[in-house]
Chains A and B, each alone.
Chain A
Amino acid sequence: MRIVVCAKQVLDPDAVNNYALVGKLEIGEDGRSLTQASIPRLMNAYDEQAIEAALRLRDEGKDLSLTVVTLGDDVDDMLKHAAALGADEIARVDVDPSTLDHNGIACILAAYIGSIGGADLVLCGRQASDDDQGLVPGMLAELLKAPLITIARAVDAGDGSVKVVRVTPDGDETVEADFPAIVTISNELGEARYPTMKAKMQARKREPSVVTVESLDLPSDELGRKAVLIRQYVPELLGNCEMIEGGSAAEQAAALVGKLRGENII
């Protein structure tokens, strides 16, 4: 079976969080980009878990080929990481993703998947940790006319169909669909593995296939943006926390409960 994982390079969300907390997150002159060179760029963690889901199928002895595809020009390190993890094919579509909206990205990914002869299973992270939008998988499902299964914690596939355990607000739900299918992976899948040192060394020599947008022959009106990022900022926090200080834990607890009761909060 052929599995394609769609991966996005993002700014390390932990680093962004740390800068934001101390009020030192810098926004570029355009008013919307995060510009600190010291923030590492890495693969969206949910996408890494999508690769992990594919690798677990391979661990179980399933015969599969794994392609990891992304958009952009400065993404080779991320793709080599995917190769070190076990991707048989790594590819990038040579386009600046910041000139596209989610629809344009989905159209390009769908056309790429078509250009390699389709996929049995497309695995995506549930959302990207930078914009948190989670739009691309659903759009891909429409473009590829494939069923969409979201928020997976476990994926089993083979013999022409996929069986997925989804994490829903009401608890786990098990569903299945025939190939080709799109599945989005959630953090409940568990931690992604690390590549071995040997695999890392070997992956250094791997070069991604580079695909131009022109070669994908997309209708031009599909690439125009209908959602345009125009501004980004750090929301202000008005801290006015009343600290309960001094005394033993029991005294602090009693003081807190007293205050909560005094204000009819409990």
Chain B
Amino acid sequence: MSTVYVCTWNAAGNAAGGGLSDVDTEALTLARKVAADMGAELRLAAVGGVCEQAIADAGRFGVAAIDAIESPQLDSGAEVSCELLLEAIEQWFGGAGARLLLLNQSFDARTIAPRLARRLRAGIIMNGVDLEASSDMIPDTEHEGDQDHIRVTTTAFGGDTRREYALTGAEVFIVCLSDNACEPAPAAEATQPAVNKVAVDLAAVSDRVRVVQRPAAVTGAKLEDAQVIVAGGRGLGESGNFRLVEELAEALGGVAGASRPIVDEGWTDSSHQVGLTGKITKPTLYIAAGISGASQHMVGCCAARNIVAINTDPDAAIFKHARFGIVGNCLELLPELTRAVKG
């Protein structure tokens, strides 16, 4: 029986004792679907080990077994570099016999996945939002005769288009899934996954990329975890007006976000950037002030449950995504909204 693995390096638990995150359960949801298509077994590969809560979570999502990939160098607490993760996954893979490996497309996964694909001679595609096993013909290519393949839907042109790729012609495939690719859905019947410990030897790994200075500790709430985001774009007119966004965000107990153009202009720093090359968010409420709604931005906020659009241009694309809209000047509306929320 072939195997579909979801690979994560965040299942060992932390101070909060957390289990699997949404991005991992999203991956498990899609993996379970494609494993059923393929008649394959669904497994979890947990680099750095797996905590009790994560084992229970994996069971709820129908995982048959967990490979806990362990080594002293991977022990939680220390910073684990991409080099160590890559080497650990490569060593584990040699004995695992996976057909398909799914990864959540985290910042580190984007660095690791293409290198892993070279090492495993795997077919790979990034930005996956859906996938299925297919036996449709692959039209006018060198693969015309091959039928069974994995068909992956991805975003392209910053979200303007969707693409479908056929993964074929290799023993193993890697798909990186975008955040918020689907709603996590537990399995109809929970399982009690067995945990197989797999020791990897990372003593000889030397990281050729030397860290000179780590990022300063993050202060404040993260955009990725925020329930309310107020984001500003070019419609703010000038740098000083970003505080209007921050004030409304504060009044709502939320976090301030920004479109890429105003980050590029230096109106705020890139830790606030929402979109394709910034943060992928999933709030309950996303207020977009003076943001036109270019696809590159929408990639980062389209999973919001409710989008409110404020824009002077009634034809702005943002209104197509919005639940509520106001055609108007955000410089006037933002302070009024702050007042109304406080009042």
Contacts and interface: CB of A to CB of B under 8 A. Distances in A.
B117 A254 contact: no
Contacts of B285: 260, 265-266
B215 A242 contact: no
B215 A172 contact: yes
Interface stretch (B10-18, B120-128, B182-190): B120-128
A151 B107 CA distance: 10
Nearest to B175: A227
Contacts of B118: 103, 106, 138-139, 142-143
Interface in B83-141: 107, 110-115, 117-119, 122-127, 138-141
Contacts of A32: 163
Contacts of B140: 30
Interface string A233-266: 1110101111111000110111011011001011
A103 B117 contact: yes
A153 B157 CA distance: 22
A13 B115 CA distance: 27
Contact of B163 (A138, A142, A232): A232
B157 A237 contact: no
Interface stretch (B37-45, B194-202, B231-239, B322-330): B322-330
A233 B162 contact: yes
Contacts of A34: 161
B52 interface: no
A253 B337 contact: yes
B125 to A, nearest CB: 5
B156 A259 contact: no
Contacts of A151: 107
Given A227-B166, A243-B326, A148 B126 contact: no
Contacts of A231: 163-164
Interface in A159-212: 163, 167-178, 186-188, 190-191
A74 interface: no
A32 B113 CA distance: 25
Nearest to A131: B156
Contact of A242 (B126, B155, B317, B325): B325
B138 A230 contact: yes
B32 interface: no
B167 interface: yes
B169 A224 contact: yes
B309 interface: yes
B277 A186 contact: yes
A231 B137 CA distance: 12
A90 interface: no
A265 B228 CA distance: 9
Contact of B110 (A134, A142, A187, A239): A134
Interface residues of A, number: 86
Interface of B is mostly: mixed
Contacts of A102: 114, 124
Contacts of B75: none
Contact of A17 (B107, B157, B208, B218): B157
A1 interface: no
Interface in A97-156: 101-103, 106, 126, 129-139, 141-143, 147-151, 153
A142 B115 contact: yes
Given A225-B169, A259-B324, A169 B279 contact: yes
Contacts of A234: 160-162
Interface string A214-235: 0000000000111111111111
Contact of A235 (B117, B162, B305): B162
B319 interface: yes
Contacts of B260: 187
A213 interface: no
B341 interface: yes
Interface of A: 11, 13, 16-17, 20-21, 25, 30-32, 34, 101-103, 106, 126, 129-139, 141-143, 147-151, 153, 163, 167-178, 186-188, 190-191, 224-235, 237, 239-245, 249-250, 252-254, 256-257, 259-260, 263, 265-266
9 contacts: A32-B163, A138-B115, A187-B264, A230-B165, A241-B320, A241-B324, A249-B328, A250-B339, A253-B339
Q: Which 5 A-B pairs have the closest CB atoms?
A: A138-B114, A226-B123, A171-B215, A253-B336, A142-B118
